[in-house]
Amino acid sequence: QLQGLAARRWSSLAVSTAGAAVRNADPRLSFAKAPAGPKSAAGAERLQALLERGFVRLPGVVPAADVGAMHDTLWADIAHRHGVRRHDPEVWSSRRGQDPRLYGPPPTSLTESVQYAFLKQRVHDLVGDMLGPQTWRLKGKATMFVDCPDAGASWTMPLGWHTDVSVDPSDLWPKFVYAFAFLDFVESRGGATMLLAGSTRRLQLMNELVKVGGHNFKAALARENPWFAELFFPEAGEACTGEISLRRALSEEERTSRLMWSGVVSKGIPMRVEELTGAPGDLLLWDPRALHSASCNTSSRPRSVLKFRLELGPWRQRQMEAALAASRQ
């Protein structure tokens, strides 16, 4: 009940700021005049969500039969090479819930399959629908993210928040995006990547370059609001906020609940913690400029996700920059 109440309160807060956000919309978030704009209304909505929140879900876009075949192939290889079986907790030997043997390139038996070829084409087509054909290019090979549960661990809000890239606040678009393809259910507290929704928009209001990792960005947010200090630096106290100490008599469970079920508005931008969960057949696109963190898997199943990287073509980036300049005249 408390979670539902918090969610409703946050929803109301987000809605109340939405009107102002639209009235003061940055032209970078308008795509109607862009020659490389979305091909469909659905593509436009997805792109808007990606740029405003830092991620967008595309549920059920890969056929269940294909997903099941790829999942079986992936785990057959893992069992053969490492002796780790998805339905046998006795061999989930990861001390922290993340076994490095289960992270890296997917097996050839998977990448040479018909289902995998279809998946790559599906990713390419769906992303192309958001920004026009030939805008984003799949770069390199996919990475398998298979995190085994740690039955003895208690799930807590992670501390390793970071960005994957350096960010110039004047950058209009991410240079690349990630696509998660879910081969199985990844539920809450099941090892999902955690992401601070709204952080990509808030980055663009910084007055300085944000280096890889985003430490200066986190520090600026922590000085602005104790909620951020508690998220990023729970042990820092006065050194981080410049105000009262944050060393409270809160249990870790209370801290986690407070941060998971509430959010803040920073300079007009709603921000809150999101778990990048999904179901078999889902795709989830997210911006590596967003503050994010790994989390512990305390569920009853391993996390089975394929990660793709798509880079923005240089010529398309120049075209969109020109369209933006023209829209401001």
**6 vs 165, more confident:** 165
Residues 159/268, Cβ–Cβ less than 8 Å: no
Q: CA–CA distance from 203 to each of 64, 70, 172, 200, 276 (Å)?
A: 37, 37, 11, 5, 20
For residue 280, what pLDDT is reported? 98
Beta strands 283-286; 176-182: pairing state: antiparallel
Check if the beta carbon of residue 318 is closer than 8 Å to that of residue 101: no
Q: Which of 216, 217, 212, 213 shows the shortest CA–CA distance to 201?
A: 217
Quickly count: other Cβ atoms within 10 Å of residue 275's Cβ: 17
Tokens (6 digits) for 276:
């990048």
Q: What is the pLDDT of residues 215-267, one digit of tens each?
A: 999 999 999 999 999 999 987 543 333 333 344 445 777 888 889 888 999 99
From residue 260, give the alpha-carbon distance in Å to each of 73, 116, 198, 235, 252.
35, 35, 15, 18, 12
- How far does CA 210 lie from the centroid of its chain? 18
Number of structural domains found in the chain: 1
Using the Cα atoms of residue 120, residue 121, residue 125 and residue 131 in order, give the sign of their dihedral.
positive
What secondary structure, in 3-state letters, does 186-218 show?
Answer: ECCCECCCEEEECHHHHHCCCCCCECCCCHHHH
Residues 8-30 pLDDT 10s: 444 444 433 433 333 344 433 33
pTM: 0.81
Q: What is the pLDDT of residue 15?
A: 37
Of the pLDDT bands very low, low, confident and very high (cuts 50, 70, 90), residue 303 is: very high
Mean pLDDT value of segment 120-146: 87
pLDDT digits (tens, 9 = 90+) for 184-203: 999 999 999 999 999 999 99
Answer yes or no: are the C-beta atoms of 306 and 71 closer than 8 Å: no
Tell me, what CATH number does 159's domain have? Answer: 2.60.120.620
pLDDT at 29: 39
d(CA 57, CA 45): 11
Nearest to 158 by CA among 11, 55, 298, 318: 298
Q: Give per-residue pLDDT as tens, 69-126.
A: 999 999 999 999 888 899 998 888 644 444 545 889 999 999 999 999 999 999 999 9
Domain span at residue 184?
A: 2-327
